[in-house]
Structure 1
Amino acid sequence: MTDDLSLPDGYAEWLGDLKERIRSARQRAALAVNTELLRLYWQIGREIADRQEAQGWGAKVIARISQDLRLAFPDMTGLSKRNLAYMRAFALAWPDPEFVQQPAAQIPWTHHQMLLDKFDEAQPRLAYAAAAVEHGWSRNVMSIHIEARTLERSGRGITNFERTLPPETSDLAREIVKDPYNFEFLGVGGEAMEREIEKALVDHVTEFLVELGVGFAYVGRQVLLEVGGEDFFIDLLFYHLRLRCYVVIELKAGKFRPEHLGQLNFYLAAVDGEMAHPDDAPTIGILLCQSRNQVVAEYSLRGSTQPLGVAEYQLRASLPSVERLQQELSGPE
């Protein structure tokens, strides 16, 4: 049945605001429940660890604790012997009870279990916990980033951003340049030509965007730039949503050479002049090569006034040819 009741002025705006407040309240409630659960698990784990040290509790006592707790709380999950062991490890991993003030307290327990399994040190655990909170990573997505060593590679490219970008954006810009980039998902070997790699990256653009990181939006491959009546083509063009700027990526199939930056400098100036909106930040250029000399790359960037970065990329190892395999199997004549 259709409701013909006319709505009062401002109803739609009020309803939208009410919905947002309900969503926020539910999110805060879920976060509070998660924080309380983690605090409880930390306390249980801390007391188990203390009593083990003071009284020599062994595995049999832990198993009995699990049995007794599950009898007392039959509807409560997470009281298995295995989970109690995780609680102990959790308390030892975060010895300061004020960890609840850190990003670690904002991720679910299953995330913590994975972090405990993957890392022995606090720094990477905290870094991936913070990234999971910032980007809303699920447990599976966080696992993918841990296996890919995403955070360990972020910000390791050679750049001149500190000198060529405003202080408020240079740090974030540095973080978007990994080194090395892992393109093994392309399924092409190290002997592949530049155009072959470009095409493979576009064919696997979803995986490519995951490897680039959060914030990249794909614009196109071999993007046409008309400058002074001449046509030029950008290898790969992206737009970064947080930096609010275009990002030009140039691929080189071999070793980095200083002259590679000349072409990239031209592309950045052309994109700023022909494509970018007046409100966009300066276009950033990233040159990806299969190998580079660090000192040569650093000197090459010193003279540039455009924001540029240089990083390596990795392809899968090339398989030996049939002829080579036959030679190796037959041995010396």
Structure 2
Amino acid sequence: MEIDLPLADYDKFLRDLKEHIRNAQIRASLAVNRELVLLYWQIGGEILTRQQQQGWGAKVINKLAKDLQKAFPEMKGFSPRNLKYMRAFAEAYPDEQFVQQLAAQIPWFHNCILLDKVKDAAERLWYIQQTIQYGWSRSVLTHQIDSGLYRRQGGATTNFDRTLPKPQSDLAQQVLKDPYNFDFLSLGKEAQERDLENALVAHIRDFLLELGVGFAFVGSQYPIEVSGKQYRLDLLFYHFRLHCFVVIDLKVVEFEPEFSGKMNFYVSAVDDLLRGEDDRPTIGIILCKTQDKTIVEYALRDINKPIGISTYQLREALPEQLQGSLPTIEQLEMELNTAALEIETDTDTPG
């Protein structure tokens, strides 16, 4: 006998049930990964201890790999290469509490990438924290490391400490980079500001990836009207973590003091015309080809609106011999398209 249920009630019940199942799957995956990383850390520590204290040579890795693969044929990850990663992992993180609280919260492959690409301990910690916070896939983590995000994050010259309350000012400072990498664009030396703007909009996904988490695109050449006269903002975004509009003004020349006065006007207008009751003060970003720090500091000294000045790098500006080693737009798109499959592959181990 069939039981008639109101369709809306059943749909809600099904949605809730699916959400519970998905959450349980995620928790289970995280638990499995945590235990796997801790196991690898323990194995690496045992190998390291015996090599340091008992003089075991490098050849023991190959013998150990063979014996472990024979004893546990159903388990992947006991290749000589991966055992070397385990030893390096234990050597890099001697504190078990650190491994449990941080390193074990990201997939093993992510840890291997960090061991290969990042040698500074503070920088490696930063990338671990960012990966945990934003759920970076392996390809995105690799891209962020290769683009030098750690050194660029928070590097813009701003007046946020004077114009925004804490902790908003600190968060806003960290959101801005210097320089921004627009390697996904190929523009000639004679490109104008509109050419740069059109290229960024045409590759908006790559642009948003470079801007960072939280940016939502509102529009280009966004119109605002003040005293019957229309003005157009090069690019307008909304940032969901900062809870504010972000105006970006593009310049293909070196920063000039008058740029800050124009941006001050734009930010004031957006605050009056677009900002809602729950929105925080609008932020302005001036992206220039180059900047002189002293001139920028003087230009911002008496500005009462939050404004940051950053530079950008184009693929065209890089040495010719390096350009061929950069990923193409198609390669970036392929990496991003396959990111959804990372959850499955990350449970395996290298080698």
Q: Same fold per TM (> 0.5)? A: yes
Q: 2:33 — aligned with what?
A: 34
Aligned to 1:312: 311
Contact 1:169 1:243 in 2 (8 A): yes
Partner AA of 1:294 in structure 2 = K
Residue of structure 2 equivalent to 1:230 = 229
Shift of 1:7: 5.5
**Partner of 1:282 in structure 2?**
281
Aligned partner letter, 1:86: Y
SS in 2 for 1:310: strand
Deviations 1:164-209 (A, max 9, x none): 1121311111111100011232101343211111111111111111
Matches within 5 A, 1:260-279: 260-279=259-278
Q: Which residue of 1 aligns with 2:96?
A: 97
User: Which amino acid in structure 2 is aligned with residue 300 of structure 1?
Assistant: A
Provide Cα deviations, 1:20-43, integer angstroms capped at 9, x if missing partner: 444333322222221111111111
Equivalence map 1:128-147=2 (5 Å): 128-147=127-146
Task: Quote the residue 2:238 is aligned against.
Answer: 239
- Amino acid paired to 2:136: W
For residue 255 of structure 1, give the secondary structure of its aligned residue in structure 2: coil
Greater displacement, 22-31 / 144-153 = 22-31
- Aligned amino acid, residue 274 of structure 1: L
CA contact (8 A) 2:186 2:316 kept: no
Indicate whether 1:200 and 2:192 are aligned.
no
User: In the TM superposition, what is the alpha-carbon distance from 1:210 to its structure 2 partner?
Assistant: 0.9
1:1-333 aligned at under 5 Å gives the runs 4-6=3-5, 18-317=17-316
Measure how far apart 1:319 and its partner are: 10
Counterpart CA distance in 2 for 1:93 and 1:264 is: 46
Partners in 1 of 2:125 and 2:138 — Cα distance?
A: 15
CA gap 1:183/1:92 in 2 versus in 1, 3 angstroms: same
Q: Residue 292 of structure 1: CA displacement?
A: 0.9
1:291 aligned counterpart, secondary structure: coil
Partners of 2:109 and 2:102 in 1: CA distance: 15
SS of 1:79's partner is coil
3-state SS, counterpart of residue 313 of structure 1? strand
Query: Which residue does the alignment assign to 2:344?
Result: none
Higher relative contact order (CA 8 A, sep 6+): 2
Cα distance in 2 for partners of 1:306, 1:291 equals 22
Tell me the SS of whatever aligns to 1:312.
Answer: strand
Q: What is the CA RMSD across the aligned residues, in angstroms?
A: 2.2
Q: 1:51 Cα shift?
A: 0.6
Q: Residues 244 and 62 (structure 1 numbering): CA distance in 2 closer, same or farther, change over 3 Å?
A: same
Structure 2: distance between partners of 1:233 and 1:6: 54
Name the aligned partner's letter for residue 107 of structure 1. Answer: I
Distance 1:208 1:3, change over 3 A: farther
| Contact residue 44 and residue 87 of structure 1 kept, 8 A | yes
Asked whether the 8 Å contact 2:93–2:99 carries over to 1, the reply is no
TM-score, length basis structure 1: 0.90
**Unaligned stretches of 5+ in structure 2?**
320-351
Distance 1:27 1:311, change over 3 A: same
1:269 Cα deviation after fit: 0.8
Q: Is the 8 A contact 2:179 2:310 kept in 1?
A: yes
Work out the CA distance in 2 between the residues paired with 1:296 and 1:190. 24
CA distance in 2, matches of 1:30, 1:219: 36
Work out the CA distance in 1 between the residues paired with 2:43 and 2:31.
18
Please, which moves more after superposition, 299-308 or 53-62? 53-62
Q: Which has the larger radius of gyration?
A: 1
**Partner of residue 341, structure 2:** none
Distance change >3 Å, CA 10–CA 133, structure 1 → 2: same
In structure 1, distance between residues paired with 2:4 and 2:71: 54
CA contact (8 A) 2:34 2:100 kept: no
> Does the C-alpha gap of structure 1 residues 121 and 287 become closer, same or farther in structure 2, counting only changes over 3 Å?
same
Deviates more, 1:26-35 or 1:284-293: 26-35
Q: Report the AA paired with residue 142 of structure 2.
A: S
| CA spacing shift, 1:311–1:3, aligned 2, 3 Å | farther
Q: 1:3 to 1:238 in 2, by over 3 A?
A: farther
Change beyond 3 A, Cα 1:318–1:312: closer
Contact kept? 1:191, 1:318, Cα under 8 Å: no
Partner of 1:325: none
SS of match in other structure, 2:242: coil
Tell me the secondary structure at the aligned position of residue 247 of structure 2: strand
Alpha-carbon distance between aligned partners in 1 of 2:208 and 2:7, rounded to the nearest angstrom = 46
* Offset of residue 240 of structure 1: 0.8
Q: Are the equivalent residues in 2 in contact too, given 1:189–1:316 (CA < 8 A)?
A: no
Q: Which moved more, 1:300-309 or 1:161-170?
A: 161-170
Q: Distance in 1 between matches of 2:2 and 2:294?
A: 72
| Alpha-carbon offset, residue 53 of structure 1 | 1.2
Deviation at 1:276, TM superposition (A): 2.0
Q: Which residue of 2 aligns with 1:328?
A: none
1:239-288 deviations in whole A, cap 9, x for unaligned? 11111111000011111111111111111111111122222111100011
